[in-house]
Chain A
């Protein structure tokens, strides 16, 4: 399939180049985000009737994992409100051209943190407390507020969007899975970037800010760290930036060899499997352990959770690829072949989320009318009864997602194995085994 340059369309290009459409979405998102924090803190403690739980963990999550990430990659990051207050503070402006002189410390993030290990840790921290986080409004409110303040704090210390790039627990997996999306931002002609004076796309100019994601667009080869903020489209003096429609998972043809990204794939794969068993399974003891934070049962749950992600899943994977004869060091083979787990992990999350979202989506209708659970009835839907949706198509849809993910991963494994010049069979068998477990857990 050919790439299609969407920015050739003047309507799309003007909409992306202008700051106002994006600002309008930002304002709505930021208002919704602040309302979610307030609802969590002052609304009803009953999660299924509180805006913060219903709109964040059901509505937003459904849009993110079922639509935004698979089809738009980092599309969510393009409109995410979390970095905004910090960024406005850092720039000392909302829309005005940047000052030459930094207003705050403007430090460079230390090299040791310039990877996604902190994002892996922040995701795992939330994941270990997820049973409480997903169901308790004030905890959701506190976590949302903490993310907002962390982003503000980091903006005053470090340059650009340090929170998004290195700490955001959501941004890490969105970046990983954005490689599978059929959309990309890339330069049109490399030579133009090589000879471009001042590199305004990275350093900023009167036309706009330097890349908030600390990426030089001229060197972009994959979606992982491009936040689709469109700042480079505004600053490029040569009209050399394009947004393209492309085949799915085009970035995975060149596998990564980074261990932080490889472990991100295992963290996401393992978390989806654990959630499918603990949250959607029939075993009360697991739910009890996951919910009662601080008890000995929870500590055992946390140890098992981490062992599955850091020992069992990567351990079996390593055993599988150990005998694939090759001159590449094992570490490099491990990271490279783990690329095959990216589509599989995404489809595990799609299958898990379908069940969770379709069962609980009807809460959205009631929460619209009574977002704080205070007895309001704004749109006359506050008493809408809970009713699971599309239960008859759920199992086939989950099978389609999981088997589709397996096929997708098998193809990715073949490409990664060709690059590393090893056999893809152990990776395909591994994907089959994990898919079978997920099928058993969900069906």
Chain B
């Protein structure tokens, strides 16, 4: 296979500058994505939540705890058999209708995690989802930072071309 005429190649002296800026932005991106952040020193507590599960929704559907807290989730199923599986922690429980089951775990991984029904319960079962936030959702802020960096890079590139 032979290459046919090329298109849109960066050329000559600008090439070095282009790669230098690219390297700079990649390094800045790595810093934003992976630089360690200060962890607020909050004493771990025991937190208990009662969650009603029914008709493809949890109530409450958003939980917030601090990193290191012991989380007790009392799952009450209000209609059919429902479950609760926590992404990232790989722990789960199931509750029969009218029954309360308790799931306990130490929330030692900071971030945002979906919890979802792990027992086929209704048509909308795959979308029966809640959200557990442990400490600060640093990855979201890092992602905002990366997006800001991307826009900053684009604006610099426009300014240079102008």
Per-residue interface assignment for chain B, residues 1 to 40, with 1 indicating a CB less than 8 Å from any chain A CB and 0 otherwise: 1111111110000000000000000000000000000000
Q: Evaluate contact between A406 and B8: CB separation under 8 angstroms.
A: no
Q: Evaluate contact between A5 and B4: CB separation under 8 angstroms.
A: yes
In chain B, what residue has the closest Cβ to A5? B4
Q: Could you tell me the distance between the alpha carbons of A105 and B23 in the complex, rounded to whole angstroms?
A: 61
Q: Could you tell me the distance between the alpha carbons of A135 and B3 in the complex, rounded to whole angstroms?
A: 47
Task: Determine the interface band of chain B, counting residues with CB < 8 A from chain A.
Answer: 35 or more
Secondary structure of the A side of the interface? helix
Q: Which of A179-225 contact B (CB under 8 A)?
A: none
Q: Which of A407-436 contact B (CB under 8 A)?
A: 407, 410-411, 413-414, 423-425, 428-429, 432, 435-436
Pick from B55, B61, B139: contact of A395, CB below 8 A: B139
In chain A, what residue has the closest Cβ to B60? A282
Q: Evaluate contact between B58 and A428: CB separation under 8 angstroms.
A: no
Set of chain A residues within 8 Å of B87, measured between Cβ atoms: 359, 388, 391, 394
Pick from B7, B59, B123: contact of A135, CB below 8 A: B123
Interface size on A, residues (CB 8 A): 61
Set of chain A residues within 8 Å of B123, measured between Cβ atoms: 47, 132, 135-136, 291
- Is A142 in the interface zone, CB < 8 Å from B? no
Per-residue interface assignment for chain B, residues 141 to 162, with 1 indicating a CB less than 8 Å from any chain A CB and 0 otherwise: 0111011101101110110010
Q: Could you tell me the distance between the alpha carbons of A9 and B1 in the complex, rounded to whole angstroms?
A: 6
- Is B48 in the interface zone, CB < 8 Å from A? no
Q: Evaluate contact between B1 and A247: CB separation under 8 angstroms.
A: no
Set of chain B residues within 8 Å of A250, measured between Cβ atoms: 7
Q: Evaluate contact between B7 and A291: CB separation under 8 angstroms.
A: no
Q: Which of B52-68 contact A (CB under 8 A)?
A: 55-59, 61-62
- Is B112 in the interface zone, CB < 8 Å from A? yes
Pick from A5, A131, A410, A439: contact of B1, CB below 8 A: A5
Set of chain A residues within 8 Å of B8, measured between Cβ atoms: 247, 253
- Is B91 in the interface zone, CB < 8 Å from A? no
Q: Evaluate contact between A135 and B116: CB separation under 8 angstroms.
A: no
Q: Evaluate contact between B155 and A287: CB separation under 8 angstroms.
A: no
Set of chain B residues within 8 Å of A288, measured between Cβ atoms: 55-57
Q: Could you tell me the distance between the alpha carbons of A244 and B56 in the complex, rounded to whole angstroms?
A: 47
Q: Evaluate contact between A440 and B6: CB separation under 8 angstroms.
A: no
- Is A294 in the interface zone, CB < 8 Å from B? no
Q: Could you tell me the distance between the alpha carbons of A359 and B118 in the complex, rounded to whole angstroms?
A: 11
- How many Å from the CB of B78 to the closest CB on chain A? 12
Set of chain A residues within 8 Å of B7, measured between Cβ atoms: 1-3, 247, 250
Set of chain A residues within 8 Å of B6, measured between Cβ atoms: 1-3
Pick from B111, B125, B143, B154: contact of A407, CB below 8 A: B154
Set of chain A residues within 8 Å of B55, measured between Cβ atoms: 284, 288
Per-residue interface assignment for chain A, residues 152 to 176, with 1 indicating a CB less than 8 Å from any chain B CB and 0 otherwise: 0000000000000000000000000
Q: Could you tell me the distance between the alpha carbons of A413 and B157 in the complex, rounded to whole angstroms?
A: 12
Task: Take A4-B4, A282-B58, A359-B116 as given contacts and tell me if A48 and B126 are in contact as well, using a CB distance cutoff of 8 Å.
Answer: yes
- Is B131 in the interface zone, CB < 8 Å from A? yes
Set of chain B residues within 8 Å of A283, measured between Cβ atoms: 61
Set of chain B residues within 8 Å of A1, measured between Cβ atoms: 6-7, 9
Q: Evaluate contact between B120 and A439: CB separation under 8 angstroms.
A: no
Q: Evaluate contact between B158 and A443: CB separation under 8 angstroms.
A: no
- Is A148 in the interface zone, CB < 8 Å from B? no
Q: Could you tell me the distance between the alpha carbons of A281 and B120 in the complex, rounded to whole angstroms?
A: 18
Set of chain A residues within 8 Å of B153, measured between Cβ atoms: 407, 410
- Is B93 in the interface zone, CB < 8 Å from A? no
Q: Evaluate contact between B143 and A425: CB separation under 8 angstroms.
A: no
Set of chain A residues within 8 Å of B155, measured between Cβ atoms: 425, 428
Q: Could you tell me the distance between the alpha carbons of A401 and B149 in the complex, rounded to whole angstroms?
A: 15
In chain B, what residue has the closest Cβ to A400? B146
Q: Evaluate contact between A282 and B131: CB separation under 8 angstroms.
A: yes
Q: Evaluate contact between A435 and B147: CB separation under 8 angstroms.
A: yes
- How many Å from the CB of A205 to the closest CB on chain B? 27
Q: Which of A345-396 contact B (CB under 8 A)?
A: 356, 359-360, 386, 388, 391-392, 394-396
The 3 closest A-B pairs by CB, nearest first: A284-B57, A2-B3, A410-B154
7 CB contacts below 8 A, A to B, read A2-B6, A131-B124, A291-B124, A391-B87, A399-B143, A414-B157, A439-B147
